[in-house]
Structure 1
Amino acid sequence: MMRAAGWACVLLVVVSADPETLYKKVGDEVILKPAAASVTGPITTIIWKEGLNIAMEWDGKDIDSYRQFKERGSLNISNGEMTITGLTRGDSGLYTVEINGNAAGSTRLTVISPVPTPSVIKSCDDDTSCVLTCEGNTTGTEPFTYTWHLGAIESPDSSKKQRITKEDSSSMEEFSCVLQNPVSEERSKPISNPFITPESSAGGLKISTGLMVFISLLAALLMLVLFHRWKAGMWFFQEESLPWQAGFWSRQGGAPRDAAVSNGTTARREKGETEEETPMA
């Protein structure tokens, strides 16, 4: 009687002590292990309990399984470990083990779903402040946490909502949030800063476009100057080379024409002189 009471006290101490908490994802498997150094000799009996109900036991000959553990449970009689496959949220609970009649540890198993991929929803009251909300169906994913990424900065605020202002976020291009629990982590697609409007972002584009136009005009002007130099044989700032000067556009190849004109004038002059010298009949 006293021996039974002693074992009951030992079991009560083990169960009442803070058990190891173990998180697992729905569909995964878990290996429940006896506490370290709890097994000191050859194993002759093993009893695993889920709460107050026996899940699996070995009496030194046969392994007996109960309820869902008949199909999804297995027992390693060499080290006392129990494996559960295809975990469901219904498998969550406190598991205790006795080896050779002695309490050998406990584990609190919590089976949860993975977090979904969240999305960021913005709600702006005016042109100076907005509230960002990290949305996602978190049913069955507890415990989970939120993390906000504001540009390249990770916010210390871990709440579901994040308030931003135009003044404080002027250097931030985009925002995203992360949902995380002990078995999974998902990040939202980033959204653009609502305070950076197309007009403001187009400022840089306008400067770039203006620079390209300036370079193009400068190149065209340079081509015109070089053409003028080639055509006139001198630079544009020399008075004789101005396009409205007589003979500018016919200067190249103009020498033969001038010669022809000159020859024609001389010929007509000589002809006239000959006619004057011819005596009248």
Structure 2
Amino acid sequence: MSAFWTVSAVLLLYFMQDSDCSRLIYAKIGDSVILHPSQTFESMSTITWMHNMNAIMQWRSGGDAVCLGDFIGRCRLDKPTGSLLIKHLTVEDTGKYNPEIDNKILDVTELWVIKPVPKPTVSAECNNGMSVCDLTCEANITSHFGPVMYRWEAGDKLLSTNMKISLTRNNMERSFVCKLQNHVSNSSSDEVPNPIVPQGIHPAGVAVPIVVLVLFLVAVGSYMRQRNDEKQVQTVEEVHVKRSALSLKALRNNGVSLESFESGPSPSPVRKFSSAREIYLQDDEERWVQNHPEYRNLTPELREFRLHRDL
């Protein structure tokens, strides 16, 4: 009867423990974990570690620690501290652990042994106009992976923490990556191109050539307008020079002096040169120009006219 009441008291104490006192630890399958007592002791004479109220390790002062059940060959006790090492963890090791030291039951440590997350894949579903697309991060997730968090990223930018993300024409990112993460691992999908943005044509790759083309056309237009303006001015000057040359030539043929032309009609008759004199003037033109350097920049017609006048 006393044994019955002893077991009942132990069960009652176990289930009456405040859940706030328990600690939660995550560990990966195949790894090792160390469980520590919730308090320290100066000396200990007996230690018993339990898993879900089942004894898995026992030790008495002066003896060796003995691992029990599925923990044989996988556990080890640190006698000075009372900490328990468990190796080669399996999913079945998940549960509540607590030590009983010198007949004192201590706080519970909850261990959750989980699997590393798998590599996710991405599926896309778009409307007929390719203006809206839904990307879904897919993976075979079970309770053995523990709490799993989703992350959608574009470069270093976090877009969403949901399993699915909706894209519109406002999403100009070139590609996306889905990431899965739990307390012991993380994994990323392959980079997925944006189904809405045509691949190979990045918005910046379109904008830059357009800006360059516009600047080039503006520069060409300005250059052409400047050339047209210069041609018009040159044409007007050439017409003016030709008209001036023709007028001077007509005056010379009629024997009108430049002073008479500039001051108006003169009542005195104008002398005309003979053909012999013309020949003489042509032969001495070069010498006349050398003696009158101020006439060197005159047009041929005006220079010839003044040569006739001076000679």
Give the shorter-chain TM-score range.
Answer: 0.5 to 0.7
Give the TM-score taking structure 2 as reference length.
0.60
Aligned length in residues: 240
Give the TM-score taking structure 1 as reference length.
0.66
- Offset at residue 134 of structure 1 (A): 0.5
Aligned partner (choices 156, 159, 181) of residue 154 of structure 1? 159
Contact 1:34–1:80 under 8 Å retained in 2? yes
Unaligned stretches of 5+ in structure 1?
Answer: 226-234, 241-268, 271-281
**Bigger relative contact order (CA 8 A; separation at least 6):** 1
Q: Quote the RMSD (CA, aligned, Å).
A: 4.2
The one-letter code sitting in structure 2 at the alignment partner of 1:142 is G
The one-letter code sitting in structure 1 at the alignment partner of 2:234 is E
Report the counterpart of residue 166 of structure 2 in structure 1. 163
Percent identity of equivalent pairs: 30
Report the counterpart of residue 195 of structure 2 in structure 1. 194
SS at match of 2:128: coil
Report the counterpart of residue 94 of structure 2 in structure 1. 92
More helix by share: 2
Report the counterpart of residue 14 of structure 1 in structure 2. 14
Residue correspondence of structure 1 range 94-109 to structure 2 within 5 A: 94-109=96-111
Greater C-alpha radius of gyration: 2
Unaligned stretches of 5+ in structure 2?
Answer: 236-278, 281-311
Report the counterpart of residue 140 of structure 2 in structure 1. 137
Could you tell me how far apart the structure 2 residues matched to 1:121 and 1:172 are?
A: 19
Once the two structures are superposed, residues 107-157 of structure 1 have per-residue CA deviations (whole angstroms, 9 ceiling, x without a partner) of 22111111123232211132222121102333431321223347835336x
Aligned partner (choices 35, 49, 66) of residue 64 of structure 1? 66
Could you tell me how far apart the structure 2 residues matched to 1:95 and 1:200 are?
A: 56
- Offset at residue 55 of structure 1 (A): 1.3
Could you tell me how far apart the structure 2 residues matched to 1:120 and 1:67 are?
A: 43
- Offset at residue 171 of structure 1 (A): 4.2
Residue correspondence of structure 1 range 1-281 to structure 2 within 5 A: 5=5, 8-9=8-9, 12-17=12-17, 18=19, 19-35=22-38, 37=39, 39-60=40-61, 61-127=63-129, 128-139=131-142, 140-149=144-153, 152-155=157-160, 158=162, 160-164=163-167, 166=168, 170-173=170-173, 174-198=175-199, 201=203, 203-208=206-211, 210=213, 214=217, 239=234
Could you tell me how far apart the structure 2 residues matched to 1:62 and 1:196 are?
A: 69
The one-letter code sitting in structure 2 at the alignment partner of 1:239 is Q
Contact 2:151–2:158 under 8 Å retained in 1? no
- Offset at residue 208 of structure 1 (A): 4.7
Could you tell me how far apart the structure 2 residues matched to 1:144 and 1:203 are?
A: 40
